Amino acid sequence: MRLCVIPGDGIGREVVPAAVAVLQELLPDLEIVQADGGWDCFQRTGTAMPEATLQAVRTCGAGLFGAVSSPSRAVTGYRSAILTLRRELELFANVRPVRSLPGLTSREDVDLIVVRENTEGLYVGRERSEPGGAVAERRITEAASRRIGARALDLACGHSGGRLTIVHKANVLPLTDGLFRDSVRAVIGEAESPRVGDLIVDELLVDVAALKLLEAPQRFGVIVTTNLFGDILSDAAAHWCGGLGLAPSLNWGEGVAVAEPVHGSAPDIAGTGAANPAAAILSAALLVRHVWQRPAMADLIEGAVRRAMQASGPAAGTAAIGDAVRRNLEVAAASG
Ligand code: NAD
Ligand code: IPM
Ligand code: MN
């Protein structure tokens, strides 16, 4: 079993070692391959995502990515490391579970997954200037919509929420978002699993979906949506699991996946030791669950994080939380 580790920039370099330590505690034979990527890498080498890193993730079949910084202005030759990774490895599904933490979050009944299409939409990276303005391309294809629909359907069949909600803006974008919605519906219609019959499938326009995520988050099971809507809704939904310090994700393709906390490089706290490593540890648990297919081990990690959060709170700092999670794992192992 091999894992390619790309800490990246800022707090990525602080939270990733905490997550690797948890994995090593449970999987002593796990081989770790360190790889470069991110803004600092771009400044040193002229590329944010070296070909060697892409190859290392392909070879390992699994990656753990910390976070990278990106300038919010055009920089010649620069393309975000994480976007390149998603695109080049066709990590087409970005799976972002949000679960409330009893005793820590303001609600106790939230258990949803945002399944975000991860390769197209507004992220195709085609912007151009034109006289008096600029244009960004937003691309939706039937093939990509069907494959994200199929992945979301699989996840919804295994999820206790019993509901799959398609989120789109087909009232304004009938060609693109209409195609997305219809493609996802077609995949559901063609599915033969008897579990599909038990699912409630519905759809919401993205604006009202945002309101309902604030107003009644417990109504959601699995949400499937296009790239930018998923980016925005997953940060908003993360409020219910305790904020960005606790929100995990898995960029998941065919035969290769990269776990990644939803948060960024957090320059405001980088270097202070304040970053919560829980999101990175929970992201590693998604690899354990979905890629290495060890659900009992993933439950163990999630339980250890939950107890660490309940005992110390999310502000205890990287080292204290990492230690507490590993101690909880030892206690769980000792008690069988
Ligand atoms: P951010 O997620 O880095 O930070 C937002 C806020 O959440 C900050 O106040 C930060 O301190 C806090 N926060 C984030 N993670 C935390 C943690 N683990 N523990 C405690 N607090 C945490 O988003 P931003 O400030 O908008 O962006 C900073 C940089 O990160 C930008 O360059 C952006 O492009 C990049 N970014 C990268 C990724 C990624 O690599 N996947 C994701 C989002 C943003
Ligand atoms: C995320 C981030 C990225 C995105 C950025 C860093 C390119 O916000 O993983 O959610 O927009 O997808
Ligand atoms: Mn985001």
Residues 282-301: tens digit of each pLDDT: 999 999 999 999 999 999 99
pLDDT for res 195: 85
Quick count: other Cβ atoms within 10 Å of Cβ 306?
20
For residues 112 and 231, state if they share a domain: yes
pLDDT for res 298: 98
pLDDT for res 254: 97
Show the ligand 2 pocket: residues with CB < 6 angstroms: 70, 80, 82-83, 231, 262, 264
pLDDT for res 197: 87
Where in the sequence is the domain holding 210, given as residue range(s)? 106-241
Nearest to 7 by CA among 52, 65, 62, 47: 65
| 276 touches ligand 1 (CB under 6 Å) | yes
Q: What is the pLDDT of residues 126-141, one digit of tens each?
A: 999 999 999 999 999 9
* Structural domain count, the chain: 2
CA-nearest residue, atom 40 of ligand 1 = 67
Mean pLDDT of 89-93: 98
Q: Is the ipTM of this complex over 0.85?
A: yes
Q: Is the distance from CB of 318 to CB of 324 less than 8 angstroms?
A: no
Task: Give the distance (Å) from ligand 2 centre to CA of residue 229.
Answer: 11
Q: Is the distance from CB of 22 to CB of 301 less than 8 angstroms?
A: yes
Mean pLDDT of 308-325: 96
Ligand 2: nearest atom to the Cα of 67: 6
Domain annotation covers residue 101? no
For residues 124 and 222, state if they share a domain: yes
Domain annotation covers residue 325? yes
Q: Which ligand sits nearest to residue 263's alpha carbon?
A: 1
- pLDDT beyond 90 at 148: yes
Domain annotation covers residue 97? no
- pLDDT beyond 80 at 169: yes
Tokens of 254: 């065919």
- Give, for ligand 2, the residue of 75, 114, 231 to mutate: max count of ligand atoms closer than 8 Å to Cβ: 231
Question: Of the residues 208, 241, 274, which one is the last residue of a structural domain?
Answer: 241
Q: Which ligand sits nearest to residue 118's alpha carbon?
A: 2
For residues 202 and 253, state if they share a domain: no
- pLDDT beyond 90 at 103: no
| 69 touches ligand 1 (CB under 6 Å) | yes
For residues 110 and 237, state if they share a domain: yes
Task: Give the distance (Å) from ligand 2 centre to CA of residue 263.
Answer: 8
For residues 163 and 223, state if they share a domain: yes
Task: Give the distance (Å) from ligand 2 centre to CA of residue 127.
Answer: 17
Task: Give the distance (Å) from ligand 3 centre to CA of residue 144.
Answer: 20
**CA 307 – CA 313 distance, rounded (Å):** 10
Q: Annotated active-site positions, please? A: 123, 169, 202, 231, 235
Q: Is the distance from CB of 259 to CB of 283 less than 8 angstroms?
A: yes
**CA 325 – CA 303 distance, rounded (Å):** 9
Assessment of whether the complete model's pTM goes beyond 0.90: yes
For residues 160 and 257, state if they share a domain: no
For residues 88 and 113, state if they share a domain: no
Q: Which ligand sits nearest to residue 96's alpha carbon?
A: 2
Domain annotation covers residue 98? no
pLDDT for res 91: 98
Q: What is the CATH number of the domain that holds 142?
A: 3.40.718.10
| 70 touches ligand 1 (CB under 6 Å) | yes
CA-nearest residue, atom 36 of ligand 1 = 264
Question: Of the residues 241, 265, 293, which one is the last residue of a structural domain?
Answer: 241
For residues 125 and 236, state if they share a domain: yes
Q: What is the pLDDT of residues 54-86, one digit of tens each?
A: 999 999 999 999 999 999 898 999 999 999 999
Share of the chain above pLDDT 70, in %: 100
Task: Give the distance (Å) from ligand 1 centre to CA of residue 281.
Answer: 16
pLDDT for res 237: 98
Angle at 223 between CA 252 and CA 218, to 5 degrees: 125
Strand, coil or helix: what is 135?
Answer: strand
pLDDT for res 183: 98
Q: What is the pLDDT of residues 179-230, one digit of tens each?
A: 999 999 999 999 988 888 899 999 999 999 999 999 999 999 999 999 999 9
Q: How confident is the model at residue 38 (pLDDT cuts 50, 70, 90)?
A: very high
